[in-house]
Amino acid sequence: MVRVLEEEKDHLRAKLGQFKGMFDGIRQTKSLIIETNGADDDRLSKSQASSPLPDPNDQQPAAPVEQRTEAVKPNDAPPPQPRGPPSDLDMMKEKFAKLLLGEDMSGGGKGVSSALALSNAITNLAASAFGEQKRLEPMAPETKARWKKEIDWLLSVTDHIVEFVPSKQKAKDGSNMEIMITRQRTDLHMNVPALKKLDGMLLDCLDNFKDQNEFYYEKGPSNNDKWWIPTPKVPPNGLSEVTRKWLQYQKDSVNQVLKAAMAINAQVLTEMEIPESYIEALPKNGRASLGDAMYKSITDEFFDPDMFLQSVDLSSEHRILDLKNKIEASVVIWERKMNAKDSKPAWGSAVSMEKREIFEDRAETILLILKHRFPGIPQSDLDISKIQYNRNVGHAILESYSRIIESLAFTVLSRIDDVMLIDSQASGDQVKPFTPPKSDADSPTSKTTLLDFMGWENGEPDPNKDEPPPPIKPTIIATNKRFLEKLENLSGLRSPSTRH
């Protein structure tokens, strides 16, 4: 009995030892889970829990557990890479998206028309590329490349402005038949390549000033009215004779670009429709628009445009623009009265159709003289209204492109005149500088003829004039012949004067 009791006690002790070892293993597993705090806590706890229970009689110390670092999950996205400059395709998408939205990025339909959006895009691109062109120097290569690339984008719209024209086609049986095919609109087909050629001539002219080293520009503001434009400097004795001839040739080339761009711009503006908002704001007759004094001068039996311009005040740009607005308004009034079929003027106060036509021709002559004597004045109210309310996309592109070429050519011409003026002062030549014309300075002895302004020869050789070096063959530009024929009949025009 005693032996049996002792065996039962030993068996109970063994079971208590097993339970004690099991509790110690669970306690050790919980402590390991709290210490690690890693990504594999569950697996660690499971592995520790499933390990065999230690023997209660075994007194070996537990092995230290290494702390694991958090592993990178395979689903984590890579860090965002910095974006490079936008590609040409992205820039073109953004530009044409703005044009389609009519510059209204909200998409609410409050944008401008497609024609005005394209006109503004070409104008803004030219302003950012050329600026004010303060010096005679080439464009930066990056700016020049951007200008050529983006202006080609905007001009690509003209490739899809087409018209139907008849064409002959030969059938399979050998018979000829006439069908209608699409072709680029005639005015765009003629003028867009011409304007591209004028654009290239201006850029080539600016590139020609890259290697010149006889004149330079001083740093700091100038003493002129436009103080932000630097003043050119020449050697004490002036420029060399070769440089003078080369500079005169550059001026003649730019002058050719200027007159061609002006002719295209004037023709396009003439073809644009006059908006109704401008017509509604017109006075009742031409006398009310011009005033009694100017109306009497234009409607007099003997009319001289030079005498008329001497009698008005042209001392400031504001007065010149105001005179142009008044004359253009009177021309529109007379044209509408001549074209009105059902117009029945009052008895005893009517002006005959023949006289109105004569008055209109005289007013257009004055406008032509003003445009060429002051090519840098801002646009008139009529021109602004036509551009704003124009819906013809082709006219909008031609007008804006020719206008910026005209403006750039006039600016380059003014910068060349600045250098030639400083050279004449340094060399002591009796050359009268180009100055803004005053109302009392229009004497016949101080006038430059129209042949000098347009660069045309009068057929009489000058023995004292040296022949310039053989220039590049000038490019023939197709312009409005009627516009140039009017210029040939005028006289007494001056070269474009500097406005500062």
For 347-381, the DSSP string reads: TTS---HHHHHHHHHHHHHHHHHHHHHSTTSPPPH
pLDDT over threshold 80, residue 15: no
pLDDT at residue 479, as a whole number: 41
pLDDT over threshold 70, residue 499: no
- Cβ neighbours of residue 288 under 8 Å, at least 6 residues apart? none
pLDDT at residue 109, as a whole number: 74
Enter the DSSP assignment of 159. G
Can you tell me the mean pLDDT for 299-303?
86
Among 61-75, 121-135, 200-214, 298-312, name the one with the lowest average pLDDT: 61-75
Please give the C-alpha separations between residue 226 and each of 234, 426, 436, in angstroms, as whole numbers. Answer: 20, 21, 14
pLDDT at residue 82, as a whole number: 65
Cα 402 to Cα 409: distance, rounded to the nearest angstrom: 10
Can you tell me the mean pLDDT for 12-36?
57
User: How many CB atoms sit inside 10 A of residue 465's CB?
Assistant: 7
- Give percent of the chain with pLDDT exceeding 90: 32
pLDDT at residue 26, as a whole number: 53
H/E stretch holding 166? strand 162-170
Please give the C-alpha separations between residue 271 and each of 279, 379, 387, 421, 481, in angstroms, as whole numbers. Answer: 16, 16, 11, 39, 15
> What six digits make up the tokens of 275?
């908006």
Among 49-63, 91-105, 332-346, 385-399, name the most confident range: 385-399
Cα 117 to Cα 157: distance, rounded to the nearest angstrom: 12
pLDDT at residue 171, as a whole number: 84
Beta strand segments in 390-493, E: none
pLDDT over threshold 80, residue 19: no
Secondary structure of residue 83 in the 3-state scheme? coil
Q: pLDDT tier at 346 (50, 70, 90 boundaries)?
A: very low
pLDDT over threshold 70, residue 369: yes
- Residues 298 and 308: beta-carbon distance below 8 Å: yes
Tokens 């069908």 found at: 179
- Average pLDDT of the chain is 75
pLDDT at residue 496, as a whole number: 40
pLDDT over threshold 60, residue 341: no
Can you tell me the mean pLDDT for 113-137?
90
Q: pLDDT tier at 20 (50, 70, 90 boundaries)?
A: low
Secondary structure of residue 221 in the 3-state scheme? coil
Please give the C-alpha separations between residue 462 and each of 121, 243, 389, 467, 469, in angstroms, as whole numbers. Answer: 47, 21, 51, 10, 16
pLDDT at residue 425, as a whole number: 85
Cα 194 to Cα 476: distance, rounded to the nearest angstrom: 9
Q: pLDDT tier at 78 (50, 70, 90 boundaries)?
A: low
Give backbone dihedrals phi and psi of 236, rounded to 5 degrees, phi first.
-55, -35
Q: Which residues of 292-301 are buried (b: 16+ CB within 10 A; e: fewer)?
A: eebbebbbee
At residue 150's C-alpha, the angle toward residues 149 and 152, to 5°, is 70
Q: pLDDT tier at 381 (50, 70, 90 boundaries)?
A: very high
Name the pTM for this structure.
0.68
Among 102-106, 199-203, 326-330, 356-360, name the one with the lowest average pLDDT: 102-106
pLDDT over threshold 60, residue 54: no
Secondary structure of residue 176 in the 3-state scheme? strand
H/E stretch holding 126? helix 114-130
Alpha helices in 272-291 (DSSP H): 276-280, 286-290
Q: Which residues of 224-260 are buried (b: 16+ CB within 10 A; e: fewer)?
A: eeeeebbebebeeebbeeebbbbbebbbebbbbbbbb
Q: Which amino acid is at 337?
A: K
Torsion over CA: 238, 240, 246, 249 (sign): positive
